[in-house]
Amino acid sequence: MWYVYLLRCADDTLYAGCTTDPRRRLQQHNAGRGAKYTRARRPVSLVYVEQAEDHSQALRREAALKRLSRKEKLALIAASLPAHFS
């Protein structure tokens, strides 16, 4: 199973990626072994995750997330939160 995720960086920017293990990938990002973009923007927190059937689908969805505006990404994050967090 593959996952697509959004991270909120320390500078309040959003980063999209894909992985087979979101928790492990979050640890890698925070340890400075993630993407170059997040290395200078630590710590990062996981704010959105969705499943993808395979790597190809995950890569397509990641690309689609990257094309979204910040406002659209924030709306996606807000819609995914449980009601008691809103």
Q: Give the residue numbers spanning the domain of 46.
A: 2-79
For residue 48, tell me if it sits in a domain.
yes
CA dist., res. 21 & res. 1, Å (int): 9
For residue 73, tell me if it sits in a domain.
yes
DSSP-based three-state secondary structure for 38: helix
pLDDT at 82: 72
pLDDT at 83: 57
In order of 17, 63, 72, 81, 82, the CA distances from 39 in angstroms are: 14, 20, 24, 26, 29
pLDDT at 86: 45
- Can you point out the beta strands (E) in 9-72? 14-19, 45-52
**What's the average pLDDT block by block, 10 residues per block, for the chain (86 residues)?**
97 98 97 95 97 98 98 96 59
For residue 85, tell me if it sits in a domain.
no
pTM: 0.92
Going by C-alpha positions, the residue among 65, 84, 61, 60 that lies closest to residue 75 is 65
Domain harbouring 64, CATH code = 3.40.1440.10
Say if residues 45 and 8 touch (Cβ distance below 8 Å).
Answer: yes
Q: Please count the structural domains in the chain.
A: 1
